Structure 1
């Protein structure tokens, strides 16, 4: 299977398989789309899918490394609550 065939299986053919081809699977006006921006051309090597630089979800663009929102406005990712120190159940006081 070529990288293009693999990409089509994961996008348009996948949407067709679950009956959502009218809403998903390709970039077209009126369709829903979450988008990945890759640093490398996955058509050269399908394993380049791990080279994500940016992603768009629900109309917001994020930096893939920091998960900071970068468009339409810049917004730093809040520190996850589980990194705020010792978990409450482990505290002895």
Structure 2
């Protein structure tokens, strides 16, 4: 597998996703989100079993972080994987939103 992946972004205003085709898999890797005000709740990350451990999910999270910086939204890392990445990357702390009520 190549080190570069093409990330497909969808934004339906109230929800969206970052997805990537995975060679040899029937399903795409994905990070899904829901909008709450100026925050996006990262609620689910999935990588097909045959592609796990290759950094694909991290690339999806980094794509979301890059867009948060460019577009001015914050992120609620509700998904355990996204939460773990926020702990590993303290430089993202300014993008972390409190859980909206």
Q: TM-score, structure 2 length as denominator?
A: 0.24
Q: TM-score, structure 1 length as denominator?
A: 0.25
Whose Rg is larger?
Answer: 1
Q: Which has the higher strand share?
A: 2
Relative contact order higher in (CA < 8 Å, ≥ 6 apart): 2
